[in-house]
Structure formats: C-alpha cells, structure tokens
C-alpha cells in the first residue's frame, strides 16, 4: 500500500538553495536547512515550496533532493537559482496539531503575483491563476501558496487574493516576493474530492435512463 504523506501548510523553516543542477527536464537541489536537516532521514518526504520531494542525501546542515520531469513541468522548481529561499515543512505525524489545512504537496498549477497592497498590519497578495483552477476556489476557503496554508479573501475572474499577517510574512518566503513572482498553487484537497464526486454523480445521472425499471429499483413505484 502506498504511504500517505500529508502536510499542514505551516512552514517550519526558510531554506536556502545552495546549489541546483538543471538537467534538460529534471533538477537536483541542494538546500541549506540547519533547523530541519538534523531531524530528517534519507527517504523522508519534505514539502519544498509546496512540492512534496524526497530526501536523497543529507548532513547536519544540508539535504539534497531530486525532482522528476513530471514535477518540474508543473511547478516553479526550474526557475530556482542558488541563494533563492524556499519554504520547508516536514510531513505531518499523528501527534501533530493541524494548524493550517491538509496539504498533499501535489501542485495543481502555477500562479503569478500581480499586486501587493499594504493595509495596516496585513499585506494583500493578488495572484492570477490558470482558469481551470478557479473552479476549485472558494471565498474564505483554504489554499496553499508555495506550501503556505492561507485563506482566500476574495476571488475574481482571473485569480484570488490572500491576506498575509505579519508572522506569516516574516516566517515564509512571502517577504521575498515581488510583483511578477511565480508561485506554486495547491487547491484545497477536500474541495477537489467533493468537486470530483459531484461531477461523477452528475455524469452518471445523465447516463442513467429513467424508465419503469429504474423507478421500481429505487422504490418510486
């Protein structure tokens, strides 16, 4: 049985990319993470900018991880360069408190920051996304942006806006983001399952012929 890996979207360390080997379609990352590195093992999963990656090598300050062509195609990994910062979170355990929401580390698409507005102690980030992702967005619902668990403040025809509190701003890579920065987006896992269930139910209903036999089998006559 495949192991279920989940995260919460609560970032535990901002890591620094020390080296990145870019192959034609895949990458090898070396990340400095003195807080997390001593606690993880080779083979462990770690959420890196919202992407579930596997630790292939480590020491007391660094860890290394490979990203496959499939992962690179659907994320911002190939845009990383040495000295860039990444959000890091080890996987959820049964003893952990879920401070954010359930995050799988499987990116649904890439967003682009279009506007940053300061309002008193909050920073509002307007993020445009692909139209296919809009279906899964719910105002006041959850979303993971570069692995950070956030609440959607508002939605429009091009994307959504999130409000970042000072703690989240200082303890994630949001403090390095600018207009035009690309981010990894993961829509709410539960919302995606519900949407899939309803879609399948509607499709099956369309295919179902409502005749006398159907009505008898379902207790209508």
- Domains observed in the chain: 13-89 (2.40.30.20), 109-203 (2.40.30.20)
pLDDT of residue 221: 63
Contacts of 221 (CB under 8 A, 6+ apart): 212, 215
Measured from the Cβ of residue 106, the count of other Cβ atoms closer than 10 Å reads: 15
Residues 140-172 have pLDDT tens digits of 999 999 999 999 999 999 999 999 999 999 999
208: pLDDT confidence band, cut at 50, 70 and 90?
low
The two tokens of residue 147 are: 């692995």
The span from the CA of 170 to the CA of 86, in Å, is: 13
Residue 1 reports pLDDT greater than 60: no
pLDDT of residue 195: 73
Q: What are phi and psi of 201, to 5 degrees?
A: -65, -40
Span between the terminal Cα atoms of the chain, in Å: 44
The span from the CA of 146 to the CA of 18, in Å, is: 19
Contacts of 167 (CB under 8 A, 6+ apart): none
The span from the CA of 169 to the CA of 143, in Å, is: 16
Residue 212 reports pLDDT greater than 80: no
pLDDT of residue 28: 97
């Amino acid at each position: 049985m495949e192991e279920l890996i989940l995260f919460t979207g609560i970032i535990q360390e901002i890591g620094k990319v020390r080296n990145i080997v870019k192959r034609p379609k895949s990458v090898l990352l070396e990340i400095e993470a003195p807080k997390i590195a001593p606690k993880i093992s080779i083979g462990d999963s770690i959420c890196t900018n919202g992407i579930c990656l596997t630790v292939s090598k480590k020491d007391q300050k660094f860890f290394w991880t490979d990203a496959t062509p499939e992962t690179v195609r659907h994320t911002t990994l190939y845009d990383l360069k040495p000295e860039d910062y990444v959000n890091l979170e080890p996987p959820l355990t049964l003893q952990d408190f879920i401070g954010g929401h359930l995050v799988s580390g499987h990116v649904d698409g890439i967003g682009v920051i279009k506007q940053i507005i300061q309002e008193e102690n909050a920073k509002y980030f307007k993020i445009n996304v692909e139209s296919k992702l809009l279906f899964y967005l719910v105002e006041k619902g959850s979303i993971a942006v570069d692995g950070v668990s956030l609440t959607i403040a508002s939605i429009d025809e091009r994307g959504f806006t999130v409000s970042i509190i000072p703690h989240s701003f200082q303890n994630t890579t949001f403090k390095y983001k600018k207009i035009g920065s690309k981010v990894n987006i993961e829509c709410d896992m539960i919302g995606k399952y519900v949407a899939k269930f309803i879609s399948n139910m509607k499709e099956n209903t369309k295919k179902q012929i409502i005749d006398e036999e159907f009505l008898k089998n379902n207790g209508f006559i």
